[in-house]
Amino acid sequence: MYSINEPMKNFASRIGQELSVRYKLISFFCLVVLAIIGTWQVVQYYLFSGAYFWFVILTAGLLLFVYLAPIGLCVTPFIRFKSSSRNRLKKFYCNFVGSFTFMWAIILLVDQDIKIYGDEGGVSYRNGSLPLKMLGGISLLIIGLYGLLQGLQ
């Protein structure tokens, strides 16, 4: 039986494979810049702020992967999706890391508080920049959507 989805799926998977190395490098560097901007805002507001740093220390650094998840999506232009059993692992990687990045983007965009607390008690704080926080959220939104769409291939 003929399905219209099969030619569209073949076309979409061919587009990602036919890109030259030059375009893959350009997209890689764009993703790196966006990831650095967004990750810096996440780290500044949520990792260096108060007690969240202790969560990373007490989990022996395992929680640090959650904070640095957007950087893991920078390699997705070089991932080749083929029909094999390893393809599921690649899709899982893109969906998992993309969903964490999307989560950080939503948190940065929804949370309008610009106070960066310096201690666990919330006594000392400094003010951050709301436009930079929004820029970080938008950049993480772009990267998260890119990762989720790569996982759908």
CA distance 83 to 60: 37
Residue 144 banded pLDDT, cuts 50, 70, 90: very high
What single-letter DSSP state applies at residue 78?
G
pLDDT of residue 140 exceeding 60 = yes
Kindly state the average pLDDT of the residues 127-146: 93
Percentage above 70 pLDDT, the chain: 83
Give the model confidence (pLDDT) of 81-97 as tens digits. Answer: 766 666 788 888 888 89
Kindly state the average pLDDT of the residues 130-152: 91
Q: What is the pLDDT of residue 118?
A: 78
pLDDT of residue 8 exceeding 80 = no
Q: Look at the chain and report how many structural domains it folds into.
A: 1
Question: What are the structure tokens assigned to 76, written together?
Answer: 């997705």
CA distance 17 to 138: 27
For residue 93, give the 3-state DSSP assignment: helix
Domain that holds residue 15: 5-74+81-151
By CB neighbour count within 10 A (0-12 exposed, 13-18 middle, 19+ buried), where does 151 fall? Answer: buried
pLDDT of residue 63 exceeding 70 = yes
Question: What are the structure tokens assigned to 41, written together?
Answer: 């805002």
Q: What is the pLDDT of residue 83?
A: 64
CA-only gyration radius of the chain, Å: 18
CA distance 153 to 150: 6
Q: What is the pLDDT of residue 13?
A: 57
The whole-model pTM stands at 0.80
For residue 80, give the 3-state DSSP assignment: coil
Q: What is the pLDDT of residue 38?
A: 93
Cα–Cα distances in Å, from 7 out to 11, 13, 126, 146? 6, 10, 55, 22
Other residues' Cβ atoms within 10 Å of the Cβ of residue 111: 12
CA distance 33 to 35: 5
